Each structure stands twice: as structure tokens, then as C-alpha cells.
Amino acid sequence: MPELCRFNGLIIRMFFDDVKRHYKPHVHVIYNKYKATIALDGEVLSGKLPAKEMKRVLAWITLREDELYEAWTKAVRKEDFGKINP
């Protein structure tokens, strides 16, 4: 699963063609022992993160929304989507 971004101990990844389990555009977030799948509209699809880190991820998603949707479009086409800045 390619890494999109890494900041403040958060690792944010996106699968290629990941539409079987979660149908909405989303990212996978890892923070220490925590894991969460978060839709690009902010809905938590599975897992959890500590409140402070969840706020950081949601703020990042809001800030990078256009880039994330572009990456999602490339991912479902199985194209390289590169990295997104923190």
C-alpha cells in the first residue's frame, strides 16, 4: 500500500483499486498501535485514532481535498499517484 504522506507520527496510505471493502474514496491511517480508515468526506469507516491525531488527519484531509481526490482517481485506475505534502 503506497504511502501518501507522513507527519507527526501519522502514516497515511492509499491502496490501488481499493473499492471492494470501502466504496467511498478513503485513506488508511496508522498512528502507533492505532489504525483507521477515513473517507475523504471525513467519515470514519473503520478503526480509531486518538482524538488529537484524528483532528490532525481531518484537517489535513480538508486542506488537501483536491489532491486526495486526484490521487484516488489515479489509484482506482491503478496509476501511480505520488506523495502529498503534510
Q: pLDDT by residue (tens digit) across 25-84?
A: 999 999 999 999 999 999 999 999 999 999 999 999 999 999 999 999 998 888 899 999
Residue type, position 36, single letter: A
Query: CA-based angle 34:36:39, to the nearest 5?
Result: 160
> How many Cα atoms are found within 13 Å in the side-chain-facing hemisphere of 17?
3
Q: pLDDT by residue (tens digit) across 23-39?
A: 789 999 999 999 999 99
* Terminal Cα-to-Cα distance of the chain (whole angstroms): 18
Q: Return the domain boundaries, the chain.
A: 3-76
**pLDDT above 90 for 10:** yes
Q: What's the pTM?
A: 0.89
Q: Are 5 and 84 in contact (CB under 8 A)?
A: yes
